Structure 1
Amino acid sequence: MPDTLRRLSVRQWSLAGLAFCVLMMGVALGLEHIGGLEPCPLCIFQRVAVLAAAAVLLVAAIHNPRGRVGAALYGGLSLAAVLGGIGVAWRHLWLQSLPPDQVPSCGPGLDYMMDILPMRDVVGMVLSGSGECAEIDFLLLGISLPGWTLIGFVILAVAPLGILLGAFRQRHPNLNGRHRPA
């Protein structure tokens, strides 16, 4: 890791990650409200993952823990949100890759499910997918929106990983790029 990145604080990593979350949400909302693309249930879950990561990174930026335990906690929580988003985006891409005869049938809308079903059942039904989530409404450079979202989550993972590596280096000072004399 370049020396400049090694010196970034939890606050700096968190603000960088938070800025990327804002960018991801801005693109999503722009495509919805300006581009007229209606989000499917899996798209909504990907947005929830971005917002969860943003919330943790915001708190981490405000708190700016100096100890390794606090840094590891924020890094781990934000990485968990990012990994959840990666999993949902990956599932979304898998649904889009299915042949038309293997695509699950469309189910009820997310709003309707949230009104009548317990959250556990809603999550299960959404992750099982529907025909609505298998449609490809938009391509950019041959990549669908869930593909771009997956790329975004992988880039976003750099911030929590930077926080975690910084916490790990605090515990192991000889890993700071300098060798201890023998």
Structure 2
Amino acid sequence: MQRFTTYRHLQVFLVIMTVIGMSFALFFLQRHMGFSPCPLCVFQRIGLMVMGGFALIAALLNPKSIAVKLLLWIGSLAGIVWSTGVAARHVWLQHLPPDQVPTCGPGLDYWLDTLPMQQVFNEVLSGSGECATVDWRFLGLSIPEQSLILFSVLLLTHLLILWRIMRPMLSARR
């Protein structure tokens, strides 16, 4: 078991999970099911791709330096923390009473064309009525709930990676 929890194997696991998550979103949900991603879904995907990008670099380089490993881990962690937070916000919006759901606004493309980037972030993160809609469920879970579970597992994987990075330093102190 310890062989499969090496630094490099864990990074490869993150890359594989990124590919699976993005493939599911792009090919199954978008192409096969015909769903268009809401702004919060787009933001979740961005964080997942950031995590996957840093994990891919870490897996390919397999750096020996603890500082480089930590730097790559922080970048990867930032991406998945972002995705987890946005997914949690998305789940929260979906569980609001109907009278408290924000009204639908213009799409993300319009916001990107007309608003400053800071205001785009504020608008997206405040959510809209389209983000509160549950279009599909699997095993009783909405897409954001499924995403939140996946991202939580990936966050726990990051804790294991941190332990693998720091373990040699902790062992040396004994």
**CA offsets per residue over residues 122-164 of structure 1, 9 Å max, x none?**
0100000100100000111111000000011112224432321
CA distance in 2, matches of 1:14, 1:4: 13
Structure 2 counterpart of 1:60, one-letter code: A
TM-score by length of 2: 0.93
Q: Give yes or no for contact 1:82–1:157 (8 Å, CA) kept in 2.
A: yes
CA distance in 2, matches of 1:147, 1:50: 15
**Shift in Å, 1:174:** 6.1
**Secondary structure of 1:172 counterpart:** helix
Aligned-pair identity (%): 43
Query: Bigger radius of gyration, 1 or 2?
Result: 1
What is aligned with 1:160? 158
**Shift in Å, 1:37:** 1.2
CA distance in 1, matches of 2:72, 2:159: 10
Of 108, 111, 122 in structure 1, the residue corresponding to residue 109 of structure 2 is 111
Q: Give yes or no for contact 1:15–1:58 (8 Å, CA) kept in 2.
A: yes
How many residue pairs get aligned? The number is 173
What aligned pairs does 1:31-50 form with structure 2 within 5 A after superposition? Answer: 31-50=29-48
**Secondary structure of 2:34 counterpart:** coil
**Shift in Å, 1:99:** 0.8
Of 13, 20, 33 in structure 1, the residue corresponding to residue 17 of structure 2 is 20
Q: Give yes or no for contact 2:47–2:79 (8 Å, CA) kept in 1.
A: yes
Q: Give yes or no for contact 1:40–1:133 (8 Å, CA) kept in 2.
A: yes
**Secondary structure of 1:39 counterpart:** coil
Return the structure number with greater relative CO, CA threshold 8 A, min gap 6: 1
What is aligned with 1:172? 170
Considering only aligned residues, what root-mean-square deviation do their CA atoms show, in Å? 1.6
CA distance in 1, matches of 2:64, 2:11: 13
Structure 1 counterpart of 2:19, one-letter code: V
CA distance in 1, matches of 2:171, 2:70: 16
Runs of 4 or more above 6 Å deviation = none
CA distance in 2, matches of 1:40, 1:3: 40
CA distance in 1, matches of 2:159, 2:170: 16
**Secondary structure of 2:102 counterpart:** coil
More helix by share: 2
**Shift in Å, 1:14:** 1.1
71-80 vs 34-43, which deviates more?
Answer: 71-80
**Shift in Å, 1:26:** 0.7
What aligned pairs does 1:60-71 form with structure 2 within 5 A after superposition? Answer: 60-71=58-69
Q: Give yes or no for contact 2:40–2:90 (8 Å, CA) kept in 1.
A: yes
Give 5+ residue unaligned stretches, structure 2. none
